Structure 1
Amino acid sequence: MTETITGLHDVADRFDAFLIDQFGVLRDGAGPYPQAPAELKKLRALGKKIIILSNSGKRSVENSVRLAKLGFDEACWDWFLTSGETAWRMMAAETDGGARKRCLLISRDGDTSPLDGLDYNRTEDADTADIVLIAASEGDRYDLGHYQTLLQPAAERGLRCLCTNPDKVMLTADGKAFGAGRIADLYEELGGAVTWIGKPFPDIYDQAKIFLGAIPPRRICAIGDSVEHDIAGARMAGIASILVETGIHAEASPTERAALFALHEAAPDFILPDFRL
């Protein structure tokens, strides 16, 4: 049964480690929630292991630096684990030492970091690509028709596609827009097959558990704003979860949230108004 709490102090002694979502918990598309940097520091002062667990197509280091530039103290987390980092490690392990392959990369603002250091060259031509990597969305700039035109030839050729950001909705400075996960849905609608990496899928949780070592799952708690990704992912990983009322479901009524719990067969253990100790 879901319990409403006023702050993490109500449950902090039950857990040794927290997996904390970035967007919707610590920040929105414009910047950090006002109290979040100080509250994260308070949680860290309790001696908890903290992993920032994010469905970002960018690698871990870039996200960590970006969050620090927004006023967060990098000493407050042990690792910034992203779906992009998970995918990069998977792709690096698959390198066979042969000729460099061509990747149709879907990212934001020309970002190529998901491929940096890998044996892949970026291409914008689906007819010559060997693989598709959907790392981010520019749904605040383009409509889905733009992505259909770009991806349809790849889907028709049956190219393997990795989605390293399963979020269907993203928070931008101007509000909500469709995320990379929606573009990956489109690829499947066009007949292509997608390998999903990130929350709620197991690979990212497996890496987090390995990093946390001997801490048992019952002493690990995920904090997120998305029922579909954070809460469902925590349930499948066998760990506790807290849903904050900020982020993508901020305007949802209790009835609407309950419907989401039923839809995704995942109810949080706790509900928290916003991220605070």
Structure 2
Amino acid sequence: MTQIINSLAEIAADYDVLFCDLWGCLHNGVAPYPEAVAALQEFRKQGGRVVLMTNAPRPAPYVQQQLDRMGVPRDAYDLIVSSGDAAQDAMFAGAVGRKVWAISQPKDEGFFTDIPAEWQDAPAIQRVELDQAEGIVCCGLFNDLTEVPEDYRARLMLAREAGLPLLCANPDVVVDLGDKRLYCAGALAELYEDIGGKSLYFGKPHPPIYDMARRKLGLPEDTRYLAVGDGIATDVPGAAGEGIDALFVSGGLAHDQFGPDVEHPDAAMLNEWLALRSENPRYSIGRLR
């Protein structure tokens, strides 16, 4: 059974580094949660390191710009590592070929154009039409405000028949933008697999993003990590796969599942819900604080 805590401070001394999710934990897509910001600032004041680990399909500098606009102070974290960073690394390595059909929005432009230093001399990635592509790079739906994954079924079936692999830059299936739920790249990658296509993942819960975070931190092997997140399909199993503890934020994506008080989830409802999903995070909290 998960242990419900009231604040990060209760367990903070047991950990050196937080791998902290963004959407649903630190902010709601529109504004930061003040208590979450304060909790991360206090963790750092006590000597801890905070890695904001996000399945955003954009490289870290673009995530930081978004956080700046939102009003998240930079003293709340040490480092940002995104699914976009790990997926971009794979794309420039040629994981899905050099000619790709890109499913993305203008805000994802940097994923293709900001070439990391280690790939400056690699052959160029060309964005082409589907019928000319060697692979697919999916950062998200073309219009996540109006579209759903089923809108892509016909095109994905053509891609499957051509044997194209799909690189998923964001394994999340949905996120909440304020009070509106939006589909992410992970939803298209799941649909592609459902119809027989091959999808490749690099964000949570898959190892590449954790490997990248550890490399960038450069800390000893005995460093104590805690993964903080609201994704029962990403943050919690990702932590388990890495052999680290998880703090599940129940007031995020699943906020309506554990009783009327988001800040204080009902223990019986929470443990039953987790058991049905075969997940057992060491700790849970209503909202990060």
Q: What TM-score do the two structures reach when normalised by structure 2? A: 0.86
1:134 aligns with 2:138: yes
Moved more, 164-173 or 5-14: 164-173
Moved more, 83-92 or 157-166: 83-92
In the alignment, the residues of structure 1 paired with residue 277 and residue 222 of structure 2 have an alpha-carbon distance, to the nearest angstrom, of 21
In the TM superposition, what whole-angstrom CA distance separates every residue of 1:14-36 from its partner, at most 9, and x where no partner exists? 00000000001001132222333
Contact residue 55 and residue 203 of structure 2 kept, 8 A: yes
Contact residue 232 and residue 265 of structure 1 kept, 8 A: no
Contact residue 151 and residue 187 of structure 1 kept, 8 A: yes
The two structures, once aligned, show a CA RMSD in angstroms of 2.2
User: 2:65 corresponds to which residue?
Assistant: 65
Contact residue 4 and residue 285 of structure 2 kept, 8 A: yes
User: 2:281 corresponds to which residue?
Assistant: 268
* Percent identity (aligned): 29
In the alignment, the residues of structure 2 paired with residue 22 and residue 189 of structure 1 have an alpha-carbon distance, to the nearest angstrom, of 28
Partner-residue secondary structure (3-state), 2:170: coil
Aligned pairs for 1:39-188 (under 5 A) are 39-94=39-94, 101-109=98-106, 111-117=108-114, 119-123=124-128, 125-137=129-141, 138-188=143-193
- Residue type at the aligned position of 1:136: G
- Residue type at the aligned position of 1:105: A
User: 2:6 corresponds to which residue?
Assistant: 6
In the TM superposition, what whole-angstrom CA distance separates every residue of 1:59-108 from its partner, at most 9, and x where no partner exists? 1110012112211122332211001101112223349xxxx932111223
Contact residue 37 and residue 71 of structure 1 kept, 8 A: no
Partner-residue secondary structure (3-state), 1:204: helix
Partner-residue secondary structure (3-state), 2:204: coil
State the shift of 1:205 in Å.
Answer: 1.1
- Residue type at the aligned position of 1:248: L
Moved more, 113-122 or 12-21: 113-122
Contact residue 261 and residue 267 of structure 1 kept, 8 A: yes
- Residue type at the aligned position of 2:207: P
Partner-residue secondary structure (3-state), 1:248: coil
Moved more, 225-234 or 180-189: 180-189
User: 2:120 corresponds to which residue?
Assistant: none
1:207 aligns with 2:212: yes
Classify 1:159/1:263 alpha carbon distance in 2 versus 1 (closer, same or farther; 3 Å).
Answer: farther
Partner-residue secondary structure (3-state), 2:160: helix
In the alignment, the residues of structure 2 paired with residue 217 and residue 164 of structure 1 have an alpha-carbon distance, to the nearest angstrom, of 30
How many pairs were matched up?
Answer: 271
- Residue type at the aligned position of 1:45: K
User: 1:25 corresponds to which residue?
Assistant: 25
Contact residue 163 and residue 180 of structure 1 kept, 8 A: yes
In the TM superposition, what whole-angstrom CA distance separates every residue of 1:191-222 from its partner, at most 9, and x where no partner exists? 21011111111111112222333344661000
Contact residue 31 and residue 71 of structure 2 kept, 8 A: no
Q: What TM-score do the two structures reach when normalised by structure 1? A: 0.89
In the alignment, the residues of structure 1 paired with residue 220 and residue 146 of structure 2 have an alpha-carbon distance, to the nearest angstrom, of 43
Unmatched 5+ stretches in structure 2: 116-123, 259-266
- Residue type at the aligned position of 2:111: P
Contact residue 131 and residue 161 of structure 1 kept, 8 A: yes
Partner-residue secondary structure (3-state), 1:35: helix
- Residue type at the aligned position of 1:275: L
In the TM superposition, what whole-angstrom CA distance separates every residue of 1:93-139 from its partner, at most 9, and x where no partner exists? 349xxxx932111223463222114521223x211112101112344
In the alignment, the residues of structure 1 paired with residue 269 and residue 131 of structure 2 have an alpha-carbon distance, to the nearest angstrom, of 43
Classify 1:23/1:178 alpha carbon distance in 2 versus 1 (closer, same or farther; 3 Å).
Answer: same
Unmatched 5+ stretches in structure 1: none
Aligned pairs for 1:175-254 (under 5 A) are 175-216=180-221, 219-253=224-258
Contact residue 29 and residue 176 of structure 2 kept, 8 A: yes
Contact residue 221 and residue 239 of structure 1 kept, 8 A: yes
User: 2:118 corresponds to which residue?
Assistant: none
User: 2:263 corresponds to which residue?
Assistant: none
